[in-house]
Structure 1
Amino acid sequence: MRFELRAVEGEHEYPRLLAVWRSSVEATHDFLTPADIEFFAARVPAYFPGVDLTAAVVDGVVAGFSGVAGGELAMLFVHAAHRGEGIGSALLRKAFAEFPRLTVDVNEQNAQAVGFYLHHGFVVVGRSELDSEGRPFPLLHLKRA
């Protein structure tokens, strides 16, 4: 599968980013209820302006994206239809190139994401019982080894 990485062009792309986020979360966050997903979906777009957003584009359509702020990978999501095509790894490599000491927080219950980051050289350096919204979804704090 061929894709290109580019900067997100602006707010007009936010609805597609949210659709990618939802597809990814529904495929990987089996610990969330539909109500939890709606809770977070209402908040996700507010985070977009505060991060440096990179889109992975397949045939002119955003298939994945990442957001980095201050050396922290704040978000990385790939549409379920494009999982396993190297998009997540490419987005992560781009973030590493810009921030060699990259950190990331990941939901402990999202075993697929934890495995992805460990596979890419991250190590667990801490844990929080609550997520950034104060909800009972523990986070693992990782940094590049």
Structure 2
Amino acid sequence: MENILQKIFREKMISNILIYPRRQSFEIIEKVVQLIEEISEKQGKVINISFVATEEESVMTSARLFGFSYIKAEFDRVKGQIRYGEKISYGKKRAYINCYALSDENERYRLQNEINPDLIIIDSEFSDKKIDGLIYKDIDIICENNSFI
């Protein structure tokens, strides 16, 4: 049976995804990436994936655990832009998946605007609006109680 993520990929041209994971939600991160990788393989193209979370330690742990890349990023309040530092890749196969730690909501939105994703997935504890779901202009729910539908 097709889940909502598969349906969206079938109906829309998605090439760039931004994910706001819940703190320490390693199981959900792995599940989302696996689903995206399966879809990407069927479509024969790489789908860019970025994770943004608030805690640097958690972001680095996720990057190490799953073989992603961690990119040091800081918000320059004077210039109103994000400064990117060192990129540390913890694997080869999934090094294209970038992880960022930005603690301020304005910083995360600035990064979101720079990444310009086709699709945003939000895990509810991270969102101020407490939305469990996925945003693509409208809101489609893909996650209920940590399970994909």
| TM tier, smaller | 0.3 to 0.5
RCO (CA 8 Å, sep 6+): is it higher in 1 or 2? 2
Q: TM-score, normalised by structure 2?
A: 0.33
Q: TM-score, normalised by structure 1?
A: 0.33
